[in-house]
């Protein structure tokens, strides 16, 4: 019997449309003539989902009882006896009731597949066994119902039912996922925007890995070894040297430039074990690679470049990162092309990045201009003079005749030119003089003496020496000008770097000292301002020579290392000028930072005076007028008038006391001296007390307080003031025909209190402004107070270790969310997925 095929619809969270899509697909396939049945489906009372089952045959379930509760499960035997072409089985990770045929529903599905029945099923990403702990970290909700990865990967088709997180929240707010009583708790806990975004990423990445495995299997099956750029895969080759950290970080940056890029780190070990490696360095580099989200591999191979390229091709790599060779130029010249050149030649379509590092042939330094040629070249020239002179003399002496003098002179002339090209003027001068004396002694008559019997020979010998000196002079000047050009280029590069560093702002000093230390070959460079070190590069040595260069009136450069030449002192003057500019910029920035709080305080003071000018004058004027009227001797007041004046005076003084209290409280909050007395507080009591204080009833406020809500760690008096402020604002801005909703729930060890209205709301760009003192966001009604309510409320919340934030109300409006820690010792009741202990059908998360 042919085994059935399994198609799984994978979702990031409940409500994305998995069951709906499964039923739609079943109806479509039935319309095409296939025999389709609904083996088990959970509609969760969603009308649109339930309507799709009308056109499909629904098989009866097995009924059982557990602890007095009637449970229904998939009837595997009944489905096999019915033998449909396709069975629709919802919630693949579901745990069956005790006594069922199988413990898990996915085991039931395997039985249907073995019977030759095709199955379409659904599952959420939180139920994948390898991801359950990650989901718990994200959502705070433990997962008790899981499905092994191997079972899910064995499916013939896996399809992600994707929905944007905000679209899912909108669907939830419209009542298309949960009933109204569960919406607020779901939105504030499991269905937070950040949670949904992370779950969506998990689902897509898990499926991407599954597709990757399928792609590898396909390529292996068909013998395909060429690069397929499905996504960026960066292979970083390590040698075991200290430059490995630099290469790994560069590879990680390359991989991060493309979404979903992979970082793969590999070390190729020679089978003979002769290559020098540092196990400690490899261990730390492996840890770094894993920290950056990469994987570490180690392969064996005598031919390192070929093994590296073969590994990169096997991983379908698109980029290969290797380091610049640490060999010297002489070693590279003697041993031929290195690993880098071979890798580039063999890599084919893989892009190869050769990254420089601190161990790659030394750092950039300014060329020295003291001598045209280096001491090493001059010594080589003298050595050639000593070695080649006697050899040439021996050869010419053996071939000497009366007609060979001219050729002898030319041979010695060639020797002088070669030595001039190698060693410059001084070795060439020595060679010219010695070869002239040698010609006179061995080849000019009379031989074996330093006398010259013909004046013409003397002139020829003199011209010979002059020619040698001229050639050596030309070589020396060419080398000198080449060195000067190289130095000019290096100086230009240095000055460009210095100027660019200053223009970049905050990192200017750090870049300046680092570059200065590098180009001048110093051990350390420090910038001092008024005697204090503000930037430093390198490690000083006690034996270093110290050079101090002034940088403006308050700064200086302290250089430690070799003595610098006069030409380098000129460059240091330019660098010192740039350091002075950077110090001045830093001083101005520091002054601006110091002035900013003063400006902010002045702005607040201005706002305070403007607000106080009206808000305090009004109750003072009303109280003064009432008291003055009562004390007027020529006026007789009736009892009613007298009571009205006393009431006016009392209300005005109460209003004045409230304003003064708020002003004192906001000053305490800003000064950080708010007195807070934390204790376990029943949030329900605080909410009810706030409603009583404001005189609000069920006609204006709807309560949605969760059952068995744990107490919050808070100051009860301050928390009630927060709730009163939030309710007062919400009532003032909500349309009269709507009610303000107050909901409280617990999630992830915190109690959340939400006050939601359906008023005009506040744009995301201006939400932070409502928490600034003396802000009314365009309110022209000065009777509303000084604009301190939300500023005080956030200050109170933060003083209690909580937060106060603003969110959009689904359907329009503003929701203020107070989050406080659960009191120590209180029982937490996470309402996440899989929190139910009974083996009932899988419950969608509501918290």
pLDDT in tens, 815-838: 889 999 988 765 544 444 433 333
Secondary structure (3-state) at 281:
helix
Contacts of 294 (CB under 8 A, 6+ apart): 236, 248, 251, 252, 255, 262, 263, 264, 265
Range in 226-240, 314-328, 448-462, 545-559 the model is least confident about: 448-462
Cβ proximity of 269 and 280 under 8 Å: no
Residue 27 has pLDDT above 60, yes or no: yes
Q: Within a 13 Å sphere around the CA of 40, how many CA atoms are in the beta-carbon half?
A: 27
The pLDDT-based confidence of 190 (bands split at 50, 70, 90) is confident
Contacts of 59 (CB under 8 A, 6+ apart): 37, 38, 39, 75, 78, 79, 82
Query: Greater confidence, 323 or 657?
Result: 323
Query: Greater confidence, 524 or 570?
Result: 524
Q: What is the pLDDT of residues 45-62, one digit of tens each?
A: 888 888 988 889 999 998
Report the mean per-residue pLDDT for the chain: 77
Q: What is the pLDDT of residues 389-441, one digit of tens each?
A: 888 888 888 887 767 777 887 888 788 888 877 877 778 878 877 887 787 77
pLDDT at 22: 93
Q: Where are the beta strands (DSSP E) in 46-124?
A: 57-58, 62-66, 69-73, 86-89, 118-124
The pLDDT-based confidence of 539 (bands split at 50, 70, 90) is confident
For the chain, what percent of residues have pLDDT higher than 70? 76
The pLDDT-based confidence of 280 (bands split at 50, 70, 90) is low
Q: What is the pLDDT of residues 764-800, one digit of tens each?
A: 777 777 776 555 544 434 344 445 567 777 877 888 8
The pLDDT-based confidence of 313 (bands split at 50, 70, 90) is confident
pLDDT at 105: 92
Residue 610 has pLDDT above 60, yes or no: no
Q: CA gyration radius for the chain?
A: 43
Q: Where are the beta strands (DSSP E) in 495-651?
A: 524-529, 532-538, 545-551, 555-561
Q: What is the pLDDT of residues 129-146, one digit of tens each?
A: 888 888 888 887 787 888
C-alpha distances (whole Å) from 96 to each of 66, 72, 599, 764 are 11, 9, 67, 46
pLDDT at 782: 39
Residue 63 has pLDDT above 70, yes or no: yes
The pLDDT-based confidence of 259 (bands split at 50, 70, 90) is low
Distance from C-alpha of 636 to C-alpha of 646, rounded to nearest angstrom? 15
Query: Greater confidence, 813 or 467?
Result: 813
CA angle 485, 489, 491 (to 5 degrees): 115
**Mean pLDDT of the region 841-847:** 44
Range in 181-195, 246-260, 279-293 the model is least confident about: 181-195
**Mean pLDDT of the region 469-493:** 70
pLDDT at 359: 57
Q: What is the pLDDT of residues 360-392, one digit of tens each?
A: 554 444 444 445 566 777 888 888 888 888 888
For the chain, what percent of residues have pLDDT higher than 90? 11
Query: Greater confidence, 87 or 339?
Result: 87
pLDDT at 662: 60
Cβ proximity of 185 and 178 under 8 Å: no
* 546-555, 606-615, 703-712, 749-758, range with greatest mean pLDDT: 749-758
**Mean pLDDT of the region 595-619:** 60
**Mean pLDDT of the region 345-351:** 83
Residue 535 has pLDDT above 70, yes or no: yes
Residue 732 has pLDDT above 70, yes or no: yes
pLDDT at 35: 94
pLDDT at 847: 40
Distance from C-alpha of 483 to C-alpha of 481, rounded to nearest angstrom? 5
């Amino acid at each position: 019997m042919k085994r059935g095929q399994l198609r799984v619809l994978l979702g990031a969270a409940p409500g994305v449309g998995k069951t709906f899509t499964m039923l739609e697909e079943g109806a479509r396939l039935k319309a095409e003539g296939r025999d389709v049945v609904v083996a088990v489906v959970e509609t969760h009372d969603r009308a649109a989902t339930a309507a799709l089952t009308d056109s499909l045959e629904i098989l009866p379930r097995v009924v059982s009882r557990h602890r007095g509760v009637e449970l229904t499960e998939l009837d595997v035997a009944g489905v096999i006896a019915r033998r449909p072409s396709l069975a629709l089985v919802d919630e693949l990770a579901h745990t069956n009731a005790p006594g069922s045929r199988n413990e898990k529903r996915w085991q039931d599905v395997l039985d249907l597949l073995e019977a030759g029945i095709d199955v379409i099923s659904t599952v959420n990403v939180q139920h994948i066994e390898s991801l359950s702990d990650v989901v718990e970290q994200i959502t705070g909700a433990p997962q008790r119902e899981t499905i092994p990865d191997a079972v899910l990967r064995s499916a013939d088709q896996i399809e992600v039912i994707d929905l944007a997180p905000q679209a899912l929240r909108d669907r939830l707010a419209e009542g298309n996922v949960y009933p109204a009583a569960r919406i607020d708790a779901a939105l504030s806990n499991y269905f937070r925007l950040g949670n949904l975004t992370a779950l969506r990423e998990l689902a897509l990445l898990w499926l991407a890995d599954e597709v990757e495995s399928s792609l590898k299997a396909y390529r292996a099956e068909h013998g395909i070894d060429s690069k397929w750029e499905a996504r960026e895969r960066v292979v970083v080759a390590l040698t075991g040297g200290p430059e490995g950290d630099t290469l790994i970080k560069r590879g990680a940056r390359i991989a991060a430039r493309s979404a979903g890029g992979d970082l793969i780190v590999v070390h190729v070990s020679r089978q003979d074990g002769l290559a020098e490696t540092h196990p400690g360095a490899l261990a730390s580099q492996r840890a770094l690679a894993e920290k950056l989200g990469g994987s570490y591999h180690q392969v064996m191979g005598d031919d390192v470049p070929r093994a590296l390229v073969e590994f990169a091709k096997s991983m379908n790599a698109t980029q290969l990162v290797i380091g610049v060779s640490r060999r010297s130029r002489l070693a590279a010249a003697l041993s031929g092309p290195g690993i880098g050149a071979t890798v580039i030649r063999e890599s084919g379509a893989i892009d190869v990045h050769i990254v420089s590092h601190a161990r790659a042939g030394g750092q950039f330094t300014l060329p020295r201009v003291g001598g045209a040629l280096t001491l090493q070249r001059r010594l080589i020239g003298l050595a050639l003079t000593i070695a080649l002179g006697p050899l040439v003399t021996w050869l010419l002496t053996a071939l000497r005749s009366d007609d060979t003098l001219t050729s002898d002179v030319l041979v010695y002339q060639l020797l002088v030119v070669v030595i001039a090209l190698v060693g410059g003027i001084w070795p060439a001068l020595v060679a010219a003089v010695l070869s002239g004396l040698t010609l006179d002694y061995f080849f000019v008559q009379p031989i074996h003496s330093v006398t010259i019997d013909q004046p013409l020979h003397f002139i020829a010998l003199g011209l010979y020496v002059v020619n040698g000196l001229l050639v050596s002079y030309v070589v020396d000047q060419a080398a000198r000008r080449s060195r000067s050009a190289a130095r000019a280029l290096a100086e230009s590069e240095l000055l460009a770097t210095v100027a660019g560093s200053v223009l970049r702002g905050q990192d200017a000093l750090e870049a300046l000292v680092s570059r200065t230390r590098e180009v001048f070959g110093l051990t350390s460079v420090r910038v001092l301002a008024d005697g204090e070190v503000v930037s430093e590069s390198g490690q000083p040595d006690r034996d270093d020579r110290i050079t101090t260069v002034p940088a403006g009136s308050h700064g200086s450069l302290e250089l430690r290392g070799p003595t610098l030449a006069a030409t380098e002192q000129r460059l240091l003057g330019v660098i010192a000028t740039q350091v002075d500019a950077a110090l001045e910029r830093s001083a101005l920035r520091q002054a601006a930072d110091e002035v900013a709080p003063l400006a902010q305080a002045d702005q607040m003071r201005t706002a305070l005076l403007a607000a106080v000018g009206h808000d305090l004058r009004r109750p003072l004027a009303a109280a003064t007028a009432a008291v003055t009227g009562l004390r007027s001797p020529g006026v007789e007041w009736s009892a009613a008038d007298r009571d009205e004046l006393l009431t006016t005076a009392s209300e005005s003084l109460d209003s004045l006391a409230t304003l003064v209290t708020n002003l004192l409280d906001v000053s305490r909050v800003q000064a950080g001296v708010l007195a807070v007395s934390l204790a376990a507080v029943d949030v329900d009591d605080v909410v009810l007390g706030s409603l009583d204080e404001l005189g609000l009833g069920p006609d204006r406020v709807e309560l949605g307080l969760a059952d068995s809500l744990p107490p919050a760690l808070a100051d009860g008096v301050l928390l009630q003031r927060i709730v009163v402020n939030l309710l007062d604002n919400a009532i003032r801005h909500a349309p009269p025909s709507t009610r303000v909703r107050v909901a409280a729930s617990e999630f992830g060890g915190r109690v959340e209190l939400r006050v939601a209205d359906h008023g005009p709301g506040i744009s995301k760009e201006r939400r932070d402004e409502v928490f600034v003192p003396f802000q009314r966001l365009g309110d022209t009604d000065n009777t509303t107070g000084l604009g301190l309510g939300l500023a005080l409320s956030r200050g109170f919340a933060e003083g209690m270790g909580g937060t106060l934030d603003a969110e959009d109300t689904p359907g329009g409006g503003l929701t203020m969310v107070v989050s406080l820690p659960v009191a120590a010792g209180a029982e937490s009741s996470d309402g996440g997925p899989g929190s139910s202990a009974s083996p009932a059908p899988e419950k969608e998360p509501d918290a």
